[in-house]
Chain A
Amino acid sequence: MGTQAMHIANGIVNAPISALFAAIALIGLAFCVVRSRADLDDRLAPMAGLVAAFIFAVQMLNFQVLPGVSGHLLGGALAAMLVGPWVGALCVTTVLVIQCLLFADGGLTALGLNVTNMALIGTAAGYLIIVVLLRVLPKTPLGLGITTFVASVLSVVVASQGFVLEYWLGGTTTMSISTIAVALAGAHLLIGVGEGIIAATTVITVAKVRPDLVYGLRALRARTASRVSTPVAAGAA
């Protein structure tokens, strides 16, 4: 009972590689801030705050995936579906920064590693899969649900391999990297299924109550209708 620490702690990856990924995270976030302005209007700003708060809450809900092993939602695919990739990455980052600074979860020196894996890699992978799947699947609540499920599963596994890359570059033990990669991919495949169920349920609910608030639906529908490629122009079309 109670909530576990759940992100990369201090000292797992060495200082130079942690610093390198802090720099990568900062550059990535700066890019997200610039790109997110096109999506962020008076109405999306409070919705994005809600998505961040919701991800914080659901990250506290560790579910059992194997005996002695639990998992929790990372939220990248969910955020990308609801508020778009740029704002979505910033939502996950907000959660990670608060968890690190206030809840002592995820090391301070490891913050760049955690942001890179969960906010940048996780959201990017989730969004790419969403874009591909919504070209083929129907844009109904069920279609969105299936899309979110698949995007969540794959984005969690890809995000876990971000850690493998970081550990390969700067791990503080001489353990076999392939063993770590396989162990993490396996556990995160199961975690991804749990995340997919939670994220798909959330997206289906929002799509039924307020379809206009689902970014994936809004941006892609407008795009196919008017053949313009930016969400700004799509909104005006």
Chain B
Amino acid sequence: MNRRPGWFLAGGLLVALVLAGVVSNFASSSPDGLDAAARQGCTFDAAGHITGGTCMAQQEQQHQLKDGPLANYGIKGVDNPYLSNGLAGVAGVVITFGLGVGVFWLVRRRGARTGPRGDA
């Protein structure tokens, strides 16, 4: 068995990049379970604005950061929707991995030899 963590990490990252960069374009565009429940009871116009009824989404406000460069899983300025969504997904995976490793590296125990590998 290959015990080097580098290969596993590289393989796992590659899978994540393909899922976020390519497969995400084929995901369902229906509202998710929470959003669908929040919209239940209201009527909507073609642009998605509430036209009547009572529902949880009535008082919903816009996101404070809705104009960010990656807002709503798209790259601002990229017109092709597949490319825009895919590139935003790739950026998200890279940023999440970078921030995650950074934070966990800072929190970790230093110089510990008690891990499952240290006693091997």
Question: A-side interface residues toward B, CB under 8 Å?
Answer: 1-12, 33, 36-38, 40-58, 60-66, 68-72, 87, 90-91, 94-95, 98-105, 107-109, 160, 163, 167, 171-175, 180, 183-184, 187-188, 190-191, 209-210, 212-213, 218, 222, 232-233, 235-236
Q: In the complex, what distance in Å separates the CA atom of A173 from the CA atom of B41?
A: 12
Category for how many chain B residues contact A: 35 or more
Partner of A108, one of B12, B27, B63, B116: B63
Contact status of A57 and B56, CB under 8 A, knowing A37-B108, A101-B65, A104-B71:
no
Q: Are A45 and B89 in contact (CB under 8 A)?
A: no
Q: In the complex, what distance in Å separates the CA atom of A108 from the CA atom of B94?
A: 22
Partner of A1, one of B41, B82, B117: B82
CB neighbours (8 Å) of B78 from chain A are none
Q: Are B108 and A40 in contact (CB under 8 A)?
A: yes
Of the listed residues B15, B25, B61, B63, the one surrounded by the most CB atoms of chain A closer than 10 A to its CB is B63
Contact status of A64 and B28, CB under 8 A, knowing A54-B12, A173-B56, A175-B54:
yes
**B77, CB-defined interface residue at 8 Å:** no
CB neighbours (8 Å) of A64 from chain B are 28, 30
Q: Are A40 and B109 in contact (CB under 8 A)?
A: yes
Partner of B37, one of A45, A47, A60, A184: A184
Nearest A residue to B64, CB-CB: A108
Q: Are A105 and B100 in contact (CB under 8 A)?
A: no
Q: In the complex, what distance in Å separates the CA atom of A44 from the CA atom of B58?
A: 44
7 pairs, CB–CB < 8 Å, chain A vs chain B: A1-B82, A36-B107, A40-B108, A48-B100, A57-B17, A62-B30, A210-B1
Q: Are B97 and A50 in contact (CB under 8 A)?
A: yes
Q: Return A69 CB to nearest CB of chain B, in Å.
A: 4
Q: In the complex, what distance in Å separates the CA atom of A84 from the CA atom of B26?
A: 31
CB neighbours (8 Å) of A12 from chain B are 38, 56-57, 59-60
Q: Are A9 and B63 in contact (CB under 8 A)?
A: yes
Contact status of A232 and B100, CB under 8 A, knowing A43-B5, A103-B92:
no
Q: Are B30 and A42 in contact (CB under 8 A)?
A: no
**B81, CB-defined interface residue at 8 Å:** yes
CB neighbours (8 Å) of B41 from chain A are 175
CB neighbours (8 Å) of A42 from chain B are 108, 112, 115
Partner of B24, one of A3, A54, A175: A3
Contact status of A184 and B34, CB under 8 A, knowing A46-B5, A103-B70:
yes
Contact status of A49 and B101, CB under 8 A, knowing A11-B59, A57-B93, A107-B61:
yes
CB neighbours (8 Å) of A62 from chain B are 27-30, 32
Q: In the complex, what distance in Å separates the CA atom of A115 from the CA atom of B20?
A: 22
Top 9 A-B pairs ranked by shortest CB distance?
A49-B101, A49-B100, A187-B33, A3-B73, A52-B100, A11-B61, A53-B97, A172-B59, A70-B28
Of the listed residues A56, A63, A222, the one surrounded by the most CB atoms of chain B closer than 10 A to its CB is A56
